[in-house]
Amino acid sequence: MLNLNKLFETIKIDIKNSKTIEELDEIRIKYLGKKGVFISYIKNLKNLPFEEKKKYSIVINQKKQEIISQINQKKQKLITLILEKRIRKETIDISLPGRRTECGCFHPITQTINYIKHFFLKLGFQSVNGPEIEDEYHNFDALNIPQNHPARDSHDTFWFDNIRLLRTQTSSMQIRIMKKEKPPIRFIFPGKVYRNDYDITHTPMFHQIEGLIVDKNINFSNLKWIIYKFLYDFFGNKVSIKFRPSYFPFTVLSAEVDIINHYGKPLEILGCGIVHPNVLKNVNIDSKVYSACAFGIGIERMTMLRYGISDIRSFFENDIRFLNQFKYN
């Protein structure tokens, strides 16, 4: 027992005097390792009577646990000292001005939305945002979209329950505005929309701007004039535009608008049409007195075409090298 107490005091001194984690590890191996001092003590117990063997086994294990605890405490102190030393060495004065100050910029999507809003403001359109969590009535029913339409399926739409969903289009704001406002109506509705799709040309969340005019004697010629004016302003007068007959449940007549690229290939950029009489009926607007036209613009598609971007996912990766290209646009 006397030798064991002396050994324990020696170990305590060694632990106290250790300056590095490496030294501490050497002490641990020396005394507690497979070939360490404590193992030799345990081996010698076999020569003692049973009662003494039992007594000394308990003492040795207690001493061993105390040493382990002291080593861990010392190790934590050394780690803290190393960290404090590194902090002192690497400390910088954050109140000093930086060597270079860089100006940020709006995201290209935001730039496109602001550009489009500014254009339609000049034509007398008001801009209104709407809720991104919609109900089935505003997103589908009131827009003349039948119950069996594939857009209602879960593989196309993100549903919360049987009624609520993430809106699939900003067209739902047509219904909300026409219920609230009296004709004449002239609004655009920018915002995020959600569809269950993801590849180089589609993302689960993207941006749209919906446009709506309700007035007396609105016809397809009025709609075409607006579309031409907008696209010539956005892309330049040299762009070639083509209207192609299409189908949407909430418009009749309906058309999709293509831009013809340098190779003569059409690229779809927006959909438009004369608002269906059933939609006007759903919001208590007399379709015999008033008519309406609407158009929906995909912001990502417009931005990609304007700046020659091939992968829509670039907008959401936040690569500073990509975003810096739009600093002066």
CA 323 to chain centre: 16
- Output the pLDDT for position 118: 96
The token duo for 188 is 């655009």
pLDDT of residue 180: 92
How many other C-beta atoms can be found within 10 angstroms of the C-beta atom of residue 272? 24
Confidence (pLDDT) at 212? 96
CATH 2.70.160.11 fits 108-326, yes or no: no
Q: CA separation (Å) from 51 to 11, 58, 153, 302?
A: 27, 11, 79, 89
Q: Which of 238, 323, 228, 316 is nearest to 269 (CA)?
A: 228
Give residue 293's identity as a one-letter amino acid code. C
- Per-residue tens of pLDDT for the chain, all 329 residues: 557 778 788 888 888 888 888 888 888 888 887 777 777 777 777 777 777 777 777 877 888 888 888 888 988 998 898 888 888 888 877 787 767 777 778 899 999 999 999 999 999 999 999 999 999 999 999 998 988 888 788 778 899 988 999 999 999 999 999 999 999 999 999 999 998 877 666 788 999 999 999 999 999 999 999 999 999 999 887 788 999 999 999 999 999 999 887 777 888 889 999 999 999 999 999 999 999 999 999 999 899 888 888 888 888 888 888 888 887 66
Note the pLDDT of residue 201. Answer: 63
Phi/psi of residue 16, each to 5°?
Answer: -65, -40
Determine the pLDDT at residue 67.
84
Query: Residue 85's pLDDT is what?
Result: 87
Which pLDDT does position 194 carry in this prediction?
92
